[in-house]
Structure 1
């Protein structure tokens, strides 16, 4: 089970969470692996009308998740905490501005909706044969 290392509330109403999935893999070495998670609740304001909102909820559910994994392998136990801090700082310095923008929730929801629709269109159809 992952441990929450840090939560960062954003001005756009979202919260970024850093979850620790670090594991020991050999001798004194670890795979430092962090999950960066931001849950976005679908809102009617993300859509042009209520029908579009309901269609999106059927495809996506009530929430969509921005999720990224960052990792570093071969980290000695004595450096694991420092590496976790470095990985979090890198995200904060390079990606937090994007996630914290006021346009991010709407853009991300629309992107996930397009992906779900595309996936649904590409899904193979099922044929049932042998039934009369």
Structure 2
């Protein structure tokens, strides 16, 4: 079970959560693994018309989830907290500006919609040959 290390509310209405998935793997060494996540509720304002919004809800549900994992292997027990702080600081300084932009929710929803459409189009087709 992941532990929430930090929640960062953003001005675009999203809240980014840093979740700890760190685990011991050998001797005094750990895999420090953090999940960076936020849920984005589908909003009709993200779409040109009601039909597009309904298609998105049918394919995606009521929300989509942004999830990224960052990790560092071989971390001694005494350094795990420092490494967690470094990983969070790196994301905050390099990626949080992108996630916190006012355009991010709509852009991310549309990219997930395109991905869902692609999966739907690439669904396996099973052909059954007729028996004579």
Distance of 1:105 and 1:25 partners within structure 2:
36
Distance of 2:32 and 2:124 partners within structure 1:
38
Deviation, 1:36, is 0.2
Q: Which residue of 1 aligns with 2:21?
A: 21
Distance of 2:130 and 2:37 partners within structure 1:
47
TM score, norm. by length of structure 1: 0.95
| 5+ long unaligned stretches in structure 1 | none
TM score, norm. by length of structure 2: 0.95
Distance of 2:50 and 2:18 partners within structure 1:
33
Q: Which residue of 1 aligns with 2:84?
A: 84
Q: Which residue of 1 aligns with 2:37?
A: 37
Aligned-residue Cα RMSD (Å) equals 1.3
Counterpart secondary structure, 1:113: helix
Aligned ranges for residues 62-81 of structure 1 at < 5 Å?
Answer: 62-81=62-81
Deviation, 1:126, is 3.0
Counterpart secondary structure, 1:102: coil
How many residues are treated as equivalent by the alignment?
131
Aligned ranges for residues 89-108 of structure 1 at < 5 Å?
Answer: 89-108=89-108
Do residues 2 (structure 1) and 2 (structure 2) align? yes
| 5+ long unaligned stretches in structure 2 | none
Q: Which residue of 1 aligns with 2:110?
A: 110
Per-residue CA deviations over 1:67-117 (Å, capped at 9, x if unaligned) read 000000000000000000000000000000000000000000001101110
